[in-house]
Amino acid sequence: MPRPPPENRREVVDATLTLRLTQHDRELLQALVALQAQEMADTGVEVSAASYVRGLIRHEARAKGVLALVSPPASAPQRRARRPSSSALKSSG
């Protein structure tokens, strides 16, 4: 049985970021992820390097006012615009 499609398509991961880190930076990231996981242990949320980086992106976007520029209103579902068919274009002109 297939999984039902997600209700919010904005939450679907559709891109991969490849990040080159020095050993020191990787250790720092692991330490930060461990601290975040410790802080959120009672919530049951799993913290990973990817979720930590996504959180940093969203935090900075919100702080700099970029988040509001990129985010569509939560109440308006996104729909793809339909292109009129070529026959509809001919009949309307």
In a domain, 62, yes or no: yes
Query: Which percentage of the chain shows pLDDT scores above 90?
Result: 49
Residue 52 domain flag: yes
Range of the domain at 25: 18-72
Confidence of residue 92 (pLDDT cuts 50, 70, 90): very low
d(CA 71, CA 42): 30
Q: What angle do CA 60, 39, 52 make, to 5 degrees?
A: 35
Residue 40 covered by a domain = yes
Number of domains composing the chain: 1
Any domain includes 3: no
Buried b vs exposed e over 1-22: b needs ≥16 C-beta within 10 Å? eeeeeeeeeeeeeeeeeeeeee
Residue by residue, DSSP assigns 19-83 as ----HHHHHHHHHHHHHHHHHTGGGT----HHHHHHHHHHHHHHHTT-HHHHPPPTTS---PPPP
Q: With respect to residue 32, please indicate whether it lies within any of the assigned structural domains.
A: yes
pLDDT bucket at 13, cuts 50 / 70 / 90: confident
**pLDDT tens-digit profile of 53-85?**
999 999 999 999 988 777 555 554 444 555 555
Residue 59 in domain: yes
Q: Tens digit of pLDDT for each residue in 36-48?
A: 999 999 999 899 9
Least confident interval from 1-5, 20-24, 56-60: 1-5
Q: Is residue 81 part of a domain?
A: no
| Mean pLDDT of all residues belonging to the chain | 80
Closest by Cα among 11, 4, 93, 83 to 54: 11
**82: in domain:** no
